[in-house]
Structures are given as C-alpha cells and as structure tokens.
Chain A
C-alpha cells in the first residue's frame, strides 16, 4: 500500500516549507504505512504552513499553492529560515 501521490508542486512546496522553517523536517519514507494514519493531520499541517508562508511573504492567504505562492517560492531570497528553530548549527559555540 502506498499513500496517494502528490503533485510535483506539492513536493516542491513541501521541500521549500521545510527548508525555510514552515514545516518540520522528518516525514516518513515513501510508502511508509505509518503516514497513512496521519494523512489528514499532515494535510492540515501543510495547509497551515502554506498560509503562514503566504502571510509572511505578503501575498493573499489562500492555503493553496496558487500562482502567487509559486512565484514567491521562485524569488531570490536569503537562505536562512523564516521561522527559526533551536538549532545548534546556528548557535555554535567554541569549545
């Protein structure tokens, strides 16, 4: 059994959302059965993340991967996440 296939846009958006801190990384492997149980929860998280991105990027908040969102994701930008997590990599201390 495998989960429903997602569009290329969704995969690309998910990667973008994870890279810039809107979605937590660590989704299960392709075809992971465990994901099936959390499919709805995942969809909700994804929509919320898209909305947050849209709000942050000052474009209409629709929760959908629309043209404005796709354009925003193609824009040149800083590589830092927009939503910072506690990350040792960013706060490295000399030992």
Chain B
C-alpha cells in the first residue's frame, strides 16, 4: 500500500451524495445504500466512522458527472477511466467523482462483463478519500485497475494495513452497526455506518429543493423558506457553496457537539459582509469553481451578491464603441489567475467562478491603468508562467505584475526577436500541451522562450501546423480543461493538441458558449464556416 500523506484529523467523517450531481441512471436511494456499504468496508477495518448528513458540506461528497466536470480530470465516456477521488483535505478534499457515462451496477453480476460494480469502484475511491494512493499489489482494493468484486467482500490485507497505519485498528469494544437501507419516503433518515450500536436521532430527509433554496426570505418572501439546517457559520450566511466560503480548517462538526440536526433560529444577516468592491483587488480570486457558461446555477438566486458601485459610473449612456456582449468578435481572450478575460475594443469582460461579472464590459484601463489613455484595443493577452500579464498593443508589449506596469515597459516587439516590420500580434498563449509560449501573427507563428526572453531562432513557421484554424486568428488560449481554443470572428474552434488539428471544422458560436448568451442572439443561423 501507499499512503499519500494527507489524512483526516478526526475519525468521525461525514459523507453525502451531491445534491446537484446525482447519477442519471441510478436510483439515488439505492446508490446511497451502495455507497454506505462501500464506506463500511473501511469502517470495519479502522476506527473510522461515516455518517451521512445529506449536505454538500460533508467531508466526502460523492458526485456523478460526465466529461469535463469542474476539475482537471475529465471523464472519457464509457470504459477506461471510471472515477477518481481527492485525498483528505478541506474544500474538494475527500470528494469522489464517478463517471456518469459508465454502466454502473448496483448489484454484482457475474455474467455481465460490460457493467461496472459501483460498490467495487466506490470502495476503491473512498480509499483515496481517506488518504491511500494506488497499490501495486494485484488483488488489493487500491490496485488501480478494476478487478470486479466478490460477494462478501472483505478488505484485503494490503489495504487493511494501509488504513490501520493511518487511523489505527478498530477497537474491540464496539460492534458493527447494521448497514442501513434507504427508502424514498419523507421519513428517510440520515444514517450512520458507525462502530457502535447506538443510533443517533436523525433529521427527516428533506428534499434538496426545500433545504437549499431561498435562504434569504426577506429577499424572496414568496419562496416559503423554512430554516431546517443549523447555520454553522452565521458570519458566512450568504454563500451558497462550501468551497468558496468555508475558509476555516476547523471541522464543521467541532461546533456541533452532538450530531443531531435541529432547526435553529435563523441568523440575521451579517454586518461584516462586504461586497467585493472596490473592484480592483490586490489579488484575483484563484478559481474556487470554474465557470461553466451554461451552468444553470448562474441564475441561482443563491449566488453571491456583487452589488454595482454606482458611484463609479461616469455616464449612463452606452458609448458607441461598447461591444454587444452577445454579438461580437473578440480581440483577445486570456485565462488570468483562473478567470477568463475577454477583450474587445477598449473594453473587457471578466468571467469568474460564478459567471460573468456584472457591470461589464468595462474599460480595460480601469483594470490596467498604465495602459495608454487613448487605448482603442489590445491585440493579444496572456498570463506568463511567472504569472506576469503580457498585453500586446501594436508593436509594443506591456508587462504587468498583476496591475502594475513593470519598469522598462512597454518594450518593442523587436526586443524579443520578432521582426521589426511586424505591426502586431494576433494572439499569444502558453500551450498546455507542452508548456511553451507561442505568438501568432497573420500566417506565421513563433515559439517564444520565456527564459531567454526571445523567440527561438528557427521560427517563424507557417500556421498550417495548426490545422483548421487558418490565418489571421483573433485569439487563442488554454482553458481550464487543458484544451486549446482558437477564436476567429464570432466563433471558436476546440483544438486537439495530440492530433494538431481542430476537433470540428465548423466553428462554435462564442457568445453562446463563453458568454452564456441565448443561441438566437449569437447569430447561429449565420453559420460559422
């Protein structure tokens, strides 16, 4: 066995099936029953206990997702990669993700080779959730390749040694609790796969809809809010998601001495809550949750409130050069500190974990005040590996340390080995496939050596290397999924880095995907050939 290094500081862990990412093909109640049995495999061999709390604040949140799903480990459809889990820790730590495209079997079937036992995979993934890495012992539960599961499964010795090294063996004075069965009724209870025969008083099962919506009844008085979950963090009442706001390393249960959930008085709104203005921050938030343009939660009233600072407004009329968010091409697109920045004319949009920031598009110079006051547009923007932000305008490079222009800048493009005759760059990016930086202009591109500060001597080369994107691109960048996206006109291509060509010859409309605009407005009928 292999211990990764991180472990839980307590043994009474909580778990939950995600309220939003449940299996599409499985009954959630049976799924929870299987997950409880999988956790019980580890409970039987160690001092660990697992309590289902039906909350996204649980230590181990189990979710089902397809393809790209909010982390750097996209699923691949049916077969091959089945699931993954994160090692112990706060935030995403401990969470287990299952590929919703798999044919999951709730009951082991010897004669069905196509299906995959959810119990077997869950038991393996929970090993990661508890701090175990992969084992090279064939037959061990933590062996990385799927081996199926047998009836009356008992944790193999290799895994038992691993879990007991971290959390100690099970004490002798306890007995095993009965593995609970879940029933789809309102009297369904949260359950404890505990080492004692004592059962705690459990709160009734409350559907997600009832539990989570309208935490602000004064704002949404007609939603029938009934506070049922104690607010453990009254000073953080507004937030809707643990990963963004639970900044404490303290285990939530430490403030909840007995684990019975009781309705409590709703805490009044905090007086310490401050909106995120003034807008310019000392550091960008570093991406608690990637932005998914079509994420329905963008319209969720529970999303954090970013009030507009009306005093900063200098005009109420729309300038003529202000681009239409849902009907425009882009001058540059860049991922900076985990947020998407899209530039057009002298404006830019900022798209963070919760979608597009309100009040945008906003003048670029309000973010980077050292840029020319008469700025009309930028040509290319990218975040360098040293986190400095490079902004190309015409024949000049402006280099910023966050918001501050570095001494000696702007510098001419020729200072970096680019031809003196070059009027501008079209795009610049750090290519995720190899970590190198590339500049694009017209029909040519250059590889830029960040250490030497110059383009490599055997460049430029023809853009034909990047099959499918043509010449004179508008922008290119690497998104959080590790994929490369080229932009031209009002559309974009997703690029296959391994095959060095676009995945689809036909463009996708940018506004629909990146700005979350309605399809009709983004001009889909016009075609993107």
Q: Please give the residue numbers on chain A whose beta carbons come within 8 Å of chain B beta carbons, in ascending order.
A: 11, 15, 20, 25-34, 55-58, 72, 74-82, 84, 89-95
Q: How far is the CB of B4 from chain A (nearest CB, A)?
A: 6
B146 engages A76 (CB within 8 Å): yes
8 A/B residue pairs, CB under 8 Å, sorted by A: A29-B433, A56-B134, A58-B138, A76-B145, A78-B82, A78-B84, A92-B93, A93-B249
B504 in the interface (beta carbon within 8 A): no
A33 engages B458 (CB within 8 Å): yes
19 extra A-B contacts, CB within 8 A, seeds A78-B124, A92-B91: A28-B434, A32-B447, A58-B138, A75-B145, A76-B80, A77-B144, A78-B83, A78-B121, A78-B128, A79-B75, A79-B82, A81-B134, A82-B136, A89-B71, A91-B93, A92-B86, A92-B90, A95-B247, A95-B286
B436 engages A28 (CB within 8 Å): yes
B92: A residues at CB distance < 8 A: 92
Cα–Cα distance between A92 and B90 once the two chains are bound (Å): 7
B85 in the interface (beta carbon within 8 A): yes
- The B interface is mostly helix, strand or loop, or mixed, namely loop
A74: B residues at CB distance < 8 A: 80
A56 engages B136 (CB within 8 Å): yes
B461-478 interface bits toward A, Cβ cutoff 8 Å, 1 = contact, 0 = none: 100010000000000000
A34: B residues at CB distance < 8 A: 456
A55 engages B6 (CB within 8 Å): no
B81 engages A77 (CB within 8 Å): yes
B116 engages A76 (CB within 8 Å): yes
- The A interface is mostly helix, strand or loop, or mixed, namely loop
A77 engages B87 (CB within 8 Å): no
Residue of B nearest to A80 (CB): B84
B133 in the interface (beta carbon within 8 A): yes
B246 in the interface (beta carbon within 8 A): yes
Within 8 A of A (CB), among B130-150: 133-134, 136, 138, 144-146
Q: Given A28, A30, A84, which contacts B133 in the complex, CB threshold below 8 Å?
A: A84
A30 engages B500 (CB within 8 Å): yes
B146 engages A75 (CB within 8 Å): yes
B81 engages A79 (CB within 8 Å): yes
Residue of A nearest to B93 (CB): A92
A26 engages B434 (CB within 8 Å): yes
B208 in the interface (beta carbon within 8 A): no
Q: How far is the CB of B127 from chain A (nearest CB, A)?
A: 9
A25: B residues at CB distance < 8 A: 435
- Nearest first, the 9 closest Cβ-Cβ pairs linking A and B are A79-B84, A76-B146, A79-B81, A94-B90, A58-B138, A26-B435, A94-B91, A77-B145, A56-B136
Q: Given A33, A80, A93, which contacts B128 in the complex, CB threshold below 8 Å?
A: A80
Residue of B nearest to A21 (CB): B134
Q: Given B93, B128, B146, B249, which contacts A77 in the complex, CB threshold below 8 Å?
A: B146
Q: How far is the CB of A41 from chain B (nearest CB, A)?
A: 16
Cα–Cα distance between A55 and B71 once the two chains are bound (Å): 29
B125 in the interface (beta carbon within 8 A): yes
Residue of B nearest to A81 (CB): B134
A33 engages B146 (CB within 8 Å): no
Cα–Cα distance between A28 and B431 once the two chains are bound (Å): 10
A75: B residues at CB distance < 8 A: 145-146
